[in-house]
C-alpha cells in the first residue's frame, strides 16, 4: 500500500469544502501579500476570503501561516496580516473562514489514532513485547550488542510487522527479554523466526534463578540470511522459577534479525494479551499455524497455512483482555496468532511552530488517503460545531457527509467485521405445567 504525506491528506480536504483554495504564486509577491494572477484576479468578490487563514506549503518560505487582510481582485493580490518572514514564491492554501490551520493538522492526527484502523496479525506469547510492536524501553536489554526494532512489515517469506536486529560487539552478544515466571518441571514451547545476516543465530533460555542455561530439545541455532525458524521445547529446572529469553549471535561481529517470539507454557489455556489491548473490541479471530519454517525440519517459506481456532473466549479483566482456550483445545506446540485492531500513528506531536508543521507535512502514513480524509472531516465537524456555532449548518452537513464516506471506507479499508468462531452451547429451559 502506498504511503501518503500529511500535506497530501490536508489537500484532499478541498473536495469537502474545508479548504477554499489550493494555489501557486504567479507574479511578484511581497512578505505582506500573495500574488496569484491565475486564481485570485477578477473572478471572485473582494470579500471572498475574509476571516480566512493562509498557509504557505512550498517555496522559500514554507509552513508559515497568517490571516487574510483583504483581497485585491483587480491585481490578484491576497494581503495578509501579520506579514510572512519572507517572500512567498511557491504553493499556498486558503482555509475555510474561521478554521485554524493547526486545528486541521491536529484533527488529521486524531483521525489516524481514533478512527482509522486495520486488523494486524500478532503472536500470542508470554514474552513482554515479544511482537516488537512497542518501543524497546526496558522490555529488551542488550549485552555485548546493540539492538533496534525494524517496524517495516515483512510479508514474504514469512509474515510479521516488526523484527529485532541484534548487532554484536563481542562474541555471544544477545538481547534479553524481561523475566518469565514458571514453576519447576513446567514445560514450555518456543518458536522464533530468524535470519542470520552474518554469523550464527542462537536461542538461549536462561534459568535466572539458578544462573544457568536451560537444556533445550530441538535445534537452537540457525545460519544463513534466508528466513527460517528456531523451534525448541524445555522445562523449568529444579529450584527454578524465573526464566529469560536470549536472542544471541555466537560470533563477535554477528548481525541477527529476529521475528516475533512465540513462548507459551505447554497445554496453556489462559494467556493475557499486551497491555495496549484495552478492550475486547480490539481482538478479532485467533489462528494456529499449520506449516511454518523450521531450520532443519522444513523450509516451507511463504507457504504458511493458518487455521482459525474456535472456542476461544475474550475475557475482559479490568483494563486488559485475556484469551481463554477451552479444555478440549488448549494451545498446541505451534505458533498462535490473534487479530488486533491497530490504529495508525500520528504524524507529529504538536503543531505550535513552523518546524513542527513541517514535520507533520513530510511524515507519511500507510492509511489510505480517502479513509483518513473522511475521518479528518468527521473530527473537524465535531470540534467546530462547538467552536463555530454560527456555522453549525455547514459543520453539521460536513459531519454527516464525512460519516457517510467514513462508513464506506471503513468497510473497504478497515477491519472486516467477520464473525468469530465460538462453540454453540445447549440451553435447557424447563417446561412449566399449568
Whether residue 196 is found in the same domain as residue 183 = yes
Give the pLDDT score at 12.
96
pLDDT above 90 (res 159): no
Comparing 63-77, 148-162, 190-204, 342-356, which segment has the lowest mean pLDDT? 148-162
pLDDT above 70 (res 296): no
Give the pLDDT score at 424.
40
Whether residue 156 is found in the same domain as residue 231 = yes
DSSP state of 390: G
pLDDT above 90 (res 255): yes
Whether residue 170 is found in the same domain as residue 305 = yes
Whether residue 242 is found in the same domain as residue 197 = yes
Dihedrals φ, ψ of 402, to 5°?
Answer: -65, -40
Whole-structure pTM value: 0.80
Angle (CA) 366 367 373, round 5°:
140
Mean pLDDT of the chain: 91
Spell out the residues 6+ positions from residue 235 whose beta carbon is closer than 8 angstroms to its own: 185, 186, 187, 188, 214
Q: Which of 318, 342, 366 is the last residue of a domain?
A: 342
* Cβ atoms of residues 336 and 122 within 8 Å: no
pLDDT above 60 (res 376): yes
DSSP string covering 399-425: HHHHHHHHHHHHHHHS---PPPP----
Angle (CA) 271 273 276, round 5°:
160
Which residue, 329, 335, 340, 333, is CA-closest to 423?
329
Measure the CA–CA gap between 302 and 193, rounded to whole angstroms. 12
Give the pLDDT score at 222.
94
3-state secondary structure of 139: coil
Whether residue 128 is found in the same domain as residue 142 = yes
Comparing 96-100, 248-252, 304-308, 341-345, which segment has the lowest mean pLDDT? 304-308
Residue 317 lies in a domain: no
How much of the chain exceeds pLDDT 90, in percent? Answer: 80
Residue 401 lies in a domain: yes
Instruction: Taking residues 147-158, report their average pLDDT.
Output: 80
pLDDT above 50 (res 142): yes
Neighbouring-strand partners of residue 26: 36
Domain that holds residue 396: 1-6+99-116+346-421
Comparing 135-144, 278-287, 298-307, 322-331, which segment has the lowest mean pLDDT? 298-307
Q: Which of 342, 361, 386 is the last residue of a domain?
A: 342
pLDDT above 70 (res 175): yes
Give the pLDDT score at 168.
98
pLDDT above 90 (res 210): yes
pLDDT above 60 (res 426): no
Dihedrals φ, ψ of 127, to 5°?
Answer: -80, 125
pLDDT above 70 (res 382): yes
Whether residue 230 is found in the same domain as residue 139 = yes
Give the pLDDT score at 158.
66
Residue 430 lies in a domain: no
Question: Strands, E, within 242-311: which ranges?
Answer: 242-249, 255-258, 262-265, 270-272, 283-291, 305-308
Instruction: Taking residues 231-259, report their average pLDDT.
Output: 97
Comparing 192-206, 300-314, 416-430, which segment has the lowest mean pLDDT? 416-430
In what helix (H) or strand (E) does residue 117 lie, and over which residues does it extend?
strand 117-123
Instruction: Taking residues 59-68, report their average pLDDT.
Output: 96
Q: Which of 298, 326, 342 is the last residue of a domain?
A: 342
Which CATH number covers residue 216? 2.60.120.260
Q: Which three cell numbers stand for residue 263?
A: 513462548
Give the pLDDT score at 233.
97
Whether residue 250 is found in the same domain as residue 156 = yes
pLDDT band at 421 (very low <50, low <70, confident <90, very high): low
Give the pLDDT score at 289.
86
In tens, the pLDDT along 64-91 reads 999 999 999 999 999 999 999 999 999 9
Residue 428 lies in a domain: no
Whether residue 208 is found in the same domain as residue 129 = yes
Instruction: Taking residues 206-223, report their average pLDDT.
Output: 96
Measure the CA–CA gap between 7 and 10, rounded to whole angstroms. 5
Measure the CA–CA gap between 208 and 187, rounded to whole angstroms. 16
Comparing 38-47, 258-267, 365-374, 388-397, which segment has the lowest mean pLDDT? 38-47
pLDDT above 60 (res 367): yes
Amino acid at each position: 500500500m502506498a504511503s501518503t504525506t500529511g500535506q497530501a491528506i490536508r489537500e484532499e480536504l478541498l473536495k469537502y469544502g474545508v479548504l477554499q483554495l489550493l494555489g501557486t504564486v504567479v507574479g511578484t509577491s511581497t512578505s505582506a501579500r500573495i500574488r496569484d494572477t491565475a486564481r485570485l484576479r477578477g473572478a471572485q468578490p473582494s470579500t471572498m476570503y475574509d476571516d480566512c487563514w493562509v498557509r504557505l506549503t512550498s517555496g522559500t518560505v514554507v509552513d508559515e501561516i497568517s490571516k487574510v487582510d483583504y483581497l485585491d481582485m483587480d491585481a490578484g493580490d491576497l494581503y495578509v496580516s501579520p506579514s510572512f518572514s519572507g517572500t512567498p514564491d511557491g504553493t499556498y492554501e486558503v482555509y475555510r473562514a474561521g478554521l485554524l490551520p493547526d486545528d486541521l493538522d491536529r484533527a488529521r492526527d486524531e483521525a489516524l489514532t481514533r478512527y482509522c484502523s486495520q486488523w494486524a496479525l500478532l503472536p500470542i506469547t508470554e514474552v513482554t513485547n515479544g511482537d516488537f510492536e512497542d518501543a524497546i524501553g526496558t522490555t529488551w536489554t542488550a549485552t555485548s550488542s546493540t539492538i533496534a526494532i525494524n517496524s517495516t512489515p515483512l510479508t514474504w517469506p514469512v509474515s510479521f510487522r516488526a523484527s529485532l536486529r541484534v548487532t554484536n560487539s563481542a562474541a555471544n552478544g544477545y538481547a534479553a527479554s524481561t523475566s518469565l515466571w514458571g514453576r519447576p518441571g513446567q514445560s514450555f514451547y518456543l518458536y522464533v523466526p530468524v535470519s542470520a545476516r552474518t554469523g550464527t543465530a542462537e536461542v538461549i533460555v536462561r534459568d535466572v534463578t539458578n544462573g544457568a542455561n536451560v537444556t533445550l530439545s530441538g535445534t537452537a541455532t540457525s545460519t544463513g540470511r534466508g528466513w527460517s525458524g528456531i523451534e525448541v521445547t524445555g522445562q523449568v529446572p529444579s529450584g527454578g522459577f524465573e526464566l529469560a529469553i536470549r536472542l544471541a549471535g555466537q560470533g563477535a561481529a554477528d548481525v541477527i534479525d529476529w521475528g516475533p517470539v512465540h513462548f507459551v507454557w505447554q497445554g496453556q489455556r489462559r494467556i493475557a494479551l499486551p497491555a495496549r489491548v484495552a478492550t475486547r473490541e480490539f481482538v478479532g479471530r485467533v489462528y494456529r499455524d499449520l506449516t511454518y519454517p523450521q531450520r532443519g525440519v522444513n523450509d516451507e517459506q511463504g507457504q504458511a497455512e493458518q487455521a482459525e481456532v474456535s472456542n476461544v473466549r475474550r475475557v475482559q479483566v479490568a483494563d486488559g483482555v485475556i484469551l481463554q482456550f477451552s479444555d478440549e483445545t488448549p494451545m498446541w506446540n505451534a505458533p498462535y496468532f490473534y487479530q488486533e485492531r491497530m490504529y495508525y500513528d500520528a504524524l507529529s506531536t504538536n503543531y505550535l511552530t513552523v518546524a513542527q508543521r513541517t514535520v507533520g507535512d513530510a511524515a507519511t502514513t500507510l492509511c489510505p488517503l480517502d479513509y483518513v480524509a473522511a475521518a479528518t472531516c468527521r473530527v473537524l465537524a465535531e470540534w467546530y460545531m462547538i467552536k463555530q456555532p454560527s456555522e453549525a449548518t455547514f459543520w453539521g452537513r460536513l459531519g454527516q457527509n464525512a460519516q457517510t464516506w467514513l462508513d464506506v471506507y471503513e468497510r473497504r479499508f478497515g477491519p472486516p467485521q467477520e464473525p468469530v468462531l465460538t462453540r454453540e452451547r445447549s440451553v435447557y429451559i424447563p417446561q412449566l405445567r399449568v
